[in-house]
Structure 1
Amino acid sequence: METEPAEFPEELADALVRIQRLVRRRLRGGLAGPRLRGAEVELLRLVEGRPGVRVSDAARALHLAGNSVSTLVNRLVREGYLIRETDPADRRAARLLLTEAAEKRLGDWRRRRAELVGRHVARLGPADREALRAALPALRELAVTLHEEADET
Structure 2
Amino acid sequence: MPSSPHVPDPATGTPETSVEHARRLTDVVTRLRRALRSSIRTDYPWESLPMAQVELLQTLAAAPLRVGELAARQRLAPNTVSGLVGKLLDAGFVDRQADPGDRRTARIALTPAGQRQLDDWQHAHERRIADALGTLDPGDRDAVFQALPALDQLARALAGPTPPAE
With the length of structure 2 as denominator, give the TM-score of the two structures: 0.84
Match of residue 50 from structure 2 = 37
Gap runs ≥5 in structure 1:
none
CA offsets 1:37-95 (integer angstroms, 9 cap, x no match): 1111110100012x221211111000001111111111110111111122121122221
Counterparts of 1:2-81 in structure 2 under 5 Å?
A: 2=3, 3=5, 5=17, 6-29=19-42, 30-32=44-46, 35-49=48-62, 51-81=63-93
User: The residue matched to 1:136 in structure 2 has which SS?
Assistant: helix
The verdict on how the C-alpha distance between 1:48 and 1:132 changes in structure 2, with shifts beyond 3 A counting, is: same
The verdict on how the C-alpha distance between 1:56 and 1:45 changes in structure 2, with shifts beyond 3 A counting, is: same
Task: Name the count of aligned residue pairs.
Answer: 150
> How far apart, CA to CA, are the structure 2 residues paired with 1:143 and 1:60?
17
> How far apart, CA to CA, are the structure 1 residues paired with 2:79 and 2:122?
28
> How far apart, CA to CA, are the structure 2 residues paired with 1:97 and 1:121?
34
Query: Equivalent pairs: percent with the same residue?
Result: 35
User: The residue matched to 2:160 in structure 1 has which SS?
Assistant: helix
Match of residue 129 from structure 1 = 141
Match of residue 118 from structure 1 = 130
Gap runs ≥5 in structure 2:
7-16
User: The residue matched to 1:95 in structure 2 has which SS?
Assistant: strand
Larger Rg computed on CA atoms: 2
> How far apart, CA to CA, are the structure 2 residues paired with 1:7 and 1:151?
30
Displacement after TM superposition at 1:16 (Å): 0.7
Q: Which moved more, 1:54-63 or 1:81-90?
A: 81-90
More helix by share: 1
User: The residue matched to 1:53 in structure 2 has which SS?
Assistant: coil
CA RMSD of aligned residues (A): 1.8
Does the aligned pair in 2 maintain the 1:55–1:70 contact within 8 Å?
yes
User: The residue matched to 1:96 in structure 2 has which SS?
Assistant: strand
Displacement after TM superposition at 1:151 (Å): 4.4
> How far apart, CA to CA, are the structure 2 residues paired with 1:148 and 1:12?
19
